[in-house]
Amino acid sequence: MKLNESSFLLGEELDFEKVHMISNDKISVSLSEHSRVKIETSNKRLIELLNKGEDIYGLTTGVGALKSIKINTSHEDIQEGIILSHATGVGAPMPKGHIKAMMLIIANSLAKGFSGVSVSVVERLVDFLITTLYRKCPVRGL
């Protein structure tokens, strides 16, 4: 991306300068059709593996020392548990630019199409980045 360009396509190479420009609203962000296809392909593959009953680290199994333990619960319950276990923080609210930078980095990583998430997850992050809709995030997570 050249400095005079006004948009960044998720899934491209992301460096500090681009993160800084996007998080300070100097350039916009969007999801390319190429990334959309990669995300959809990865998501379909994940669903196929789940339907076959395959063990998937951290999704159908525990993590770390519990990786050999099969989790016998719905995927929605697992996702809710992960969110709740990471939903605590303390301290002053983080600056909005920092929150936007974190969401951008996550969205760009997901746009590479290796995680198995649905396209709607990345689209929602793009919506948040465009509309400047942010949650208050404490500076320290627990």
Q: Give the model confidence (pLDDT) of 84-127 as tens digits.
A: 777 778 889 889 999 999 999 999 999 999 999 999 999 999 99
What SS3 state is found at 66?
A: helix
Spatial contact of 70 and 59, defined as CB atoms under 8 Å apart? no
Tens of pLDDT, residue by residue over 69-90, are 887 766 667 667 767 777 778 8
Q: Is the pLDDT of residue 8 over 70?
A: yes
Enumerate residues 6+ apart whose C-beta is below 8 A from 42: 113, 114, 115, 116, 117
pTM score: 0.81
- 63 confidence band (pLDDT: 50, 70, 90): confident
Q: Is the pLDDT of residue 4 over 50?
A: no
Q: Which of 3-12, 45-54, 118-127 has the lowest mean pLDDT?
A: 3-12
Q: Which pLDDT score, from 0 to 100, does residue 73 have?
A: 64
Q: Is the pLDDT of residue 1 over 60?
A: no
What are the Cα distances from residue 40, in Å, to 35, 67, 88? 9, 27, 31
What SS3 state is found at 14?
A: coil
Q: Which pLDDT score, from 0 to 100, does residue 61 have?
A: 83
* Number of C-beta neighbours around residue 50 at 10 A: 14
Q: Is the pLDDT of residue 2 over 60?
A: no
